[in-house]
Amino acid sequence: MKYFDEAKELWLNYVPRNGQSDIVEGEVIRAIEKLRCEAQGNGNANWDGGFEMLVLYILDVLNDPDVFSAAMLAEIKADVHTLLTSAENPYLEDDVYDRLTDRVIEWHIAKGGPIKREINPQLYR
């Protein structure tokens, strides 16, 4: 991971102990780590629509042509696709999770964040 220290700072400042973050960057990092933990720790045994919502939120935020090149967007979409299709076959390596976290930091820098967000009342993960 290229931006470990920056990701750690976002986590410490914007990810609450429980529940969703009210900051976009915090919520995307929370989603990535929740997906990593579920895959690596539980083999996606608890996978449900809530995890799918997390994956789609990552894509919604990072699919930003104002920040990323076409090649980078293709990589983001491929990584998200890997996670989205991993319900039955969990993705256990760190590379995809780390790469997406690096993209969050790049997005955060480009947008001059932190950026506020509304809590999603339908998300229970």
Domain extent listing, the chain: 4-111
Closest CA to 30 of 17, 41, 43: 17
- Using CA atoms, how far residue 26 sits from 31, 34, 59, 115, in Å, is 9, 12, 15, 9
Q: pTM (2 decimals)?
A: 0.94
- Burial call 14-35: b when 16+ CB within 10 Å, e when fewer: bbeeeebbebbbbbbbbbbbeb
pLDDT-based confidence at 45, cuts 50/70/90?
very high
Tens digit of each residue's pLDDT (9 = 90 or more) over 58-106: 999 999 999 999 999 999 999 999 999 988 899 999 999 999 999 999 9
Q: Averaged over 17-38, what is the pLDDT?
A: 96
Please give the radius of gyration of the chain, using alpha carbons only, rounded to the nearest integer. Answer: 13
- Eight-class DSSP state of 116: B
Residue 20 near residue 119, CB atoms below 8 Å: yes
Q: Mean pLDDT in the chain?
A: 95
